[in-house]
Amino acid sequence: MDHAAEYFTKLSSEVMEHHAPVKKRTIKARPAPWIDEELSKAFAERNKAKVVASKSKLDSDRQTYKKLRNYTLRLNRNKKALFYKNAFKDC
């Protein structure tokens, strides 16, 4: 009787692994604590400008994207620096 149960368990495991294999999932980390609504909107606006610039190939759209990219990068750096400055102020 043990042999039959062991065989059934082994066979059912093989069938399950073949038809429904275990998949690895990656869980994203929480967003950076300094990212607020203003920075999120800047990211979204920059991304939209990038799509427009890549589709249109116009120099004016490329310049608009570059300005938004630089603004977003500067804003992100400033907010990150301020966050860590405030976080380590008490240390």
Domain boundaries in the chain?
32-91
Give the pLDDT band (50/70/90) at residue 63: very high
User: What is this structure's pTM?
Assistant: 0.66
Residue whose entry in the numeric block shows the structure tokens 């570059």: 66
79 against 24, higher pLDDT: 79
Query: What is residue 34's three-state secondary structure?
Result: coil
The lowest-confidence range among 18-22, 67-71, 75-79 is 18-22
Asked if pLDDT for residue 1 goes beyond 70, the answer is no
What are 3-28's pLDDT values in tens digits? 888 999 999 999 988 888 888 888 88
